[in-house]
């Protein structure tokens, strides 16, 4: 009775989780709340997100959250002070006897029967319950007024030895309805009356009677009233026992029938949960449709930014490929899977993920086998992005240009936009700022949201906010701080509007953290980085989380760089390096070195600067080169005449590099350092003649730290022409 939600999948997911948390908080405001999660070891990633939120919120409300799981599950909440972990051991003999007494309504069992139940169940509660019920439902005992007695001497194997045997024995005694239980088990642990009815072929009366008996035997639990009822097997082991009692041929036939019914009569459910259909096709041995359904499930999960689920679904499809006969159709199916898995891998792991590299190489090989040039575009993107992340910028620029040519030759406007974004990024890293700006602005000019928003799900980010985030940095470097701020704000607004997780992490990391560090606006980083950290951690966006964590740590350490903070920076940088993400390493090293120098550890800082300069030469990452040279010059001043001369030369070199790149902001910063040195050397006239023309070039951004510092120094140097 409500209108469709007009929001992006990621927004809908966030609002759904928020609604559930609000429901819990609302209940707890009026009464204590008990929340129970069973079998957390089987939890899916999105439900895990909800459970994490519940655990966090529970500490502030009247709620008790009980979570059960097997030892194979690693609980992520162990370090919280409001969380208590309990290891549940097997029940002792007294507890086991109490449980049996409750099941027999306190009527004693014959001692030999009781001893066998206790011995065979070994303190496992579910086994105690099921085995006791199996004995009571069998023909071994007769109920008298105050006790149970044996109907005959107890045979050696009269009581089942395992839980599975006990469950099978109970199902066998319900033989008229066993087939219904088996059919339900093939559907899953949870099943609806409507689907079971369509698959089983039983009459309504027969089905109602069978389900009533299963419920009375407490093998299944019911919610609602048929035909709208839903059922759940009491325990996964109960469902497994019913399912495993089927012959293999029966199982395949049942799954084929379920898949057919789902496709023909439950199209709405299949559209929402294609993985359900994929599961039944897989179990039926119908491999082609199974692969197609796993592909559909992976693509749908990717659209919802459920990247963990997407990768799992697509890998299920890839696992089945070898079961198809060799040929063009098999090759095309594998190609679609290998291309589809790239987007969630890029979002979840990183662009340098070896899984992504292998998927890309395999997909390109498959493209060549079938001559499918249309599918080359996402592969060229992945290869360009991989080289970019590995800091092979000239290679990435070449691949980006090939990607752009191929897209334009095919008339593929959307992929061409993505190609321009990657090309602009490569040019920025190479220090080609004017070319980078032109490429970004051309991309933004051609972008149409209604037509190109889907690119986020095909290529990992929506190109518009991602492009805006990096363009804000480029504009700052070129000497347009106000324009950089405007583009930064636009990047953030567009990323929030789109609500695609990886796009949002990408755009905000650059627009807030990288831009903030470039212009030394540490306060904006301190204000906004915590929310980026929370978001990227929640969405498992590892590289954006680490970059933000690194720059936020720098911002928090300004003015008081403790040794612990400096060590932490090194640890975070090592974590970034461990992801095989090498781009921007020169930037990170220089920022760390500047903080080391401020803490008095100049020798260590110089060692880090030398490492950064070596990286500049090795990878041609030149966008921060002028600043690295300036920092080195500042660090060696005051160590004697020779060092002062070297420092002066480094300032001159920094100015030259910045000028060749058109990086007016970095030129101003280096010129300010050189002018201050000349002022101290008594060369105020030379200092003023150097700095004033560069300062006068600027038409905006006079409230930024670089321009204010330059203006203060110029005023100290004596009268100068401000026009």
What count of Cα atoms within 13 Å lies in the side-chain half-sphere of residue 97? 9
Are the C-beta atoms of residues 24 and 35 closer than 8 Å to each other?
yes
Are the C-beta atoms of residues 610 and 635 closer than 8 Å to each other?
no
Rounded CA-CA distance 234/221 in Å is 6
Residue bearing the bigger pLDDT, 380 or 594: 594
Rg for the chain, CA atoms, rounded: 33
What is the pLDDT at residue 7? 73
With 0-12 CB in 10 A as exposed, 13-18 as middle and 19+ as buried, what is 442?
Answer: middle
* Statement: residue 314 has pLDDT above 90: yes
Closest CA to 304 of 654, 620, 10, 584: 10
Tokens 């954006």 belong to: 544
In this predicted model, what pLDDT tens digit does every residue of 437-473 receive, in sequence order? 999 999 999 999 878 888 887 788 899 999 999 999 9
What is the pLDDT at residue 166? 77
For the chain, the distance separating the N- and C-terminal CA atoms, rounded to the nearest angstrom, is 67
Average of per-residue pLDDT values in the chain: 90
Per-residue confidence band for 162, with pLDDT thresholds at 50, 70 and 90: confident
In this predicted model, what pLDDT tens digit does every residue of 617-655 receive, in sequence order? 999 999 999 999 999 999 999 787 888 899 999 999 999
Per-residue confidence band for 352, with pLDDT thresholds at 50, 70 and 90: low
Closest CA to 628 of 673, 593, 677, 674: 593
What is the pLDDT at residue 351? 65
Rounded CA-CA distance 358/371 in Å is 20
* Statement: residue 691 has pLDDT above 70: yes
Q: What single DSSP character describes residue 162?
A: S
Distances (CA, A) of 93 to 126, 136, 160, 230: 15, 20, 19, 37
Determine what percent of the chain is predicted with pLDDT higher than 70: 98
What is the pLDDT at residue 172? 79
Phi, psi of 283 (to 5 degrees): -70, -25
* Statement: residue 343 has pLDDT above 90: no
Per-residue confidence band for 274, with pLDDT thresholds at 50, 70 and 90: very high
Determine what percent of the chain is predicted with pLDDT higher than 90: 62
Phi, psi of 152 (to 5 degrees): -165, 170
75-79, 327-331, 346-350, 664-668: lowest mean pLDDT where? Answer: 346-350
The helix (H) or strand (E) run that includes residue 605 is helix 602-619
Pairing of strands 141-143, 63-67: unpaired
Are the C-beta atoms of residues 234 and 220 closer than 8 Å to each other?
yes
Q: Which residues share a beta bridge with 130?
A: none
Rounded CA-CA distance 524/682 in Å is 37
Global pTM reads 0.65
Q: What is the mean pLDDT of residues 221-248?
A: 88
What is the pLDDT at residue 122? 81
Q: DSSP readout, 51-105?
A: HHHHHHHHTTSSEEEEE---TTS--TTTT-TT----------HHHHHHHHHHHTT
In this predicted model, what pLDDT tens digit does every residue of 480-491 receive, in sequence order? 999 999 999 999
In this predicted model, what pLDDT tens digit does every residue of 171-212 receive, in sequence order? 777 777 889 999 999 999 999 999 999 999 888 888 999 999
Q: What is the mean pLDDT of residues 568-592?
A: 92
In this predicted model, what pLDDT tens digit does every residue of 16-40 receive, in sequence order? 999 999 999 999 999 999 999 988 9
What count of Cα atoms within 13 Å lies in the side-chain half-sphere of residue 717? 29
What is the pLDDT at residue 690? 96
Sheet strands side by side (includes 220-223): 190-192, 230-233, 220-223
Rounded CA-CA distance 358/210 in Å is 51
* Statement: residue 723 has pLDDT above 70: no
Per-residue confidence band for 663, with pLDDT thresholds at 50, 70 and 90: very high
In this predicted model, what pLDDT tens digit does every residue of 519-559 receive, in sequence order? 999 999 999 999 999 999 888 888 999 999 999 999 999 98
Contacts for 147 with CB less than 8 Å, ≥ 6 apart: 107, 108, 109
The helix (H) or strand (E) run that includes residue 686 is helix 684-697
What is the pLDDT at residue 158? 66
Are the C-beta atoms of residues 505 and 536 closer than 8 Å to each other?
yes
The helix (H) or strand (E) run that includes residue 223 is strand 220-223
Quote the crossing angle between the two packed helices 193-200 and 175-187, to the nearest 10°: 110
Closest CA to 426 of 407, 444, 439: 439
Q: DSSP readout, 243-294?
A: HHTS-HHHHHHHHHHHHHHHHHH-HHHHHH-HHHHHHHHHHHT-HHHHHHHH
The helix (H) or strand (E) run that includes residue 115 is helix 111-121
Q: Is the peptide bond before 696 cis (omega within 30 degrees of 0)?
A: no
What is the pLDDT at residue 639? 80
* Statement: residue 127 has pLDDT above 90: no
Q: What is the mean pLDDT of residues 113-131?
A: 86
262-276, 282-296, 368-382, 567-581: lowest mean pLDDT where? Answer: 368-382
What is the pLDDT at residue 418? 94
Are the C-beta atoms of residues 388 and 422 closer than 8 Å to each other?
yes
What is the pLDDT at residue 350? 65
Rounded CA-CA distance 504/263 in Å is 36
What is the pLDDT at residue 549? 96
What is the pLDDT at residue 119? 84
* Statement: residue 380 has pLDDT above 90: no
């Amino acid at each position: 009775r409500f209108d469709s939600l007009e929001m992006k999948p990621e927004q809908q997911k966030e609002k759904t989780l928020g609604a559930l948390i609000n429901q819990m908080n609302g209940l707890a405001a009026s009464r204590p709340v008990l929340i129970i999660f069973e079998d957390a070891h089987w939890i899916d990633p999105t439900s895990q997100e909800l459970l994490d939120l519940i655990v966090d919120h529970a500490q502030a409300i009247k709620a008790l959250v009980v979570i059960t799981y097997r030892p194979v599950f690693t609980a992520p909440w162990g370090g919280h002070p409001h969380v208590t972990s309990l290891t549940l051991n097997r029940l002792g003999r007294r507890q086991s006897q109490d449980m049996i007494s409750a099941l027999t309504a306190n009527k004693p069992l014959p001692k030999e029967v009781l001893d066998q139940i206790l011995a065979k169940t070994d303190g496992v509660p579910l086994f105690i319950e099921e085995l006791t019920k199996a004995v009571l439902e069998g023909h071994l005992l007769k109920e008298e007024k105050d006790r149970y007695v044996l109907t005959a001497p107890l045979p050696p194997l009269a009581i089942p030895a395992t839980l599975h045997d006990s469950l099978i024995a109970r199902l066998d005694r319900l033989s008229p309805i066993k087939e219904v239980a088996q059919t339900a088990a093939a559907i899953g642990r949870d099943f609806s009356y409507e689907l079971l009815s369509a698959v089983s072929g039983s009459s309504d009366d027969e089905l109602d009677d069978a389900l009533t008996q299963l419920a009375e035997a407490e093998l299944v639990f019911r919610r609602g009233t048929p035909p709208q009822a839903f059922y759940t097997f009491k325990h996964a082991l109960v469902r497994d026992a019913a399912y495993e009692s089927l012959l293999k041929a029966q199982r395949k036939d049942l799954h084929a029938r379920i898949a057919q019914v789902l496709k023909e009569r439950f199209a709405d459910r299949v559209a929402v949960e294609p993985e359900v259909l994929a599961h039944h096709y897989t179990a039926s041995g119908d491999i082609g449709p199974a692969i197609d359904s796993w592909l559909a499930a992976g693509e749908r999960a990717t659209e919802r930014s459920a990247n963990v689920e997407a990768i799992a679904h697509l890998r299920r499809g890839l696992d089945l490929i070898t079961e198809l006969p060799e040929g063009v159709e098999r090759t095309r199916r594998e190609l679609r899977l290998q291309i589809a898995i790239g987007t969630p891998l890029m979002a979840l792991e990183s662009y340098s993920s070896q899984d992504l590299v292998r998927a890309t190489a395999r997909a390109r090989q498959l493209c060549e086998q079938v001559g499918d040039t249309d599918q080359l575009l996402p592969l060229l993107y992945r290869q360009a992005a991989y080289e970019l992340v590995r800091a092979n910028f000239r290679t990435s620029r070449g691949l980006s240009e090939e990607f752009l040519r191929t897209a334009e030759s095919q008339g593929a406007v959307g992929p061409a936009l993505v190609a321009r974004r990657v090309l602009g990024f490569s040019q920025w890293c190479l220090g080609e700022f004017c070319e980078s700006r032109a490429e970004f602005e051309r991309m933004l000019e051609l972008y149409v949201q209604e037509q190109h928003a889907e690119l986020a799900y095909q290529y990992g980010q929506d190109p518009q906010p991602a492009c805006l985030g990096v363009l804000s940095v480029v504009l700052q470097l070129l000497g347009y701080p106000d324009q950089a701020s405007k583009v930064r704000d636009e990047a953030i607004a567009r990323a929030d509007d789109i609500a695609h997780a990886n796009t949002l992490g990408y755009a905000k990391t650059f627009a807030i953290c990288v831009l903030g560090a470039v212009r030394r606006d540490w306060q904006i980083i301190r204000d906004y980085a915590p929310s980026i950290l929370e978001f990227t951690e929640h969405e498992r966006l590892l590289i954006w989380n680490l970059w933000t964590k690194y720059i936020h740590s720098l911002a928090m350490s300004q003015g008081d760089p403790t040794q612990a903070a400096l060590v932490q920076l090194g640890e975070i940088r090592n974590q970034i390096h461990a992801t095989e993400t090498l781009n921007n390493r020169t930037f990170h090293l220089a920022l760390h070195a500047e903080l080391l120098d401020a803490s008095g550890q100049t020798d260590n800082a110089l060692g880090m600067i030398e490492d950064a300069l070596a990286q500049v030469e090795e990878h041609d990452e030149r966008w921060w080169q002028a600043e690295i040279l300036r920092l080195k010059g500042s660090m060696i001043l005051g160590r004697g005449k020779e060092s002062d001369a070297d420092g002066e030369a480094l300032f001159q070199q920094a100015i030259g590099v910045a000028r060749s790149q058109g990086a007016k902001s970095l030129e101003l910063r280096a010129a300010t350092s050189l002018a201050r040195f000349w002022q101290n050397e008594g060369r105020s006239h030379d200092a003023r003649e150097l700095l004033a023309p560069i300062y006068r070039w600027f038409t905006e951004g006079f409230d930024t730290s670089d321009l204010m510092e330059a203006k203060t120094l110029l005023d100290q140097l004596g009268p100068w022409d401000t026009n």
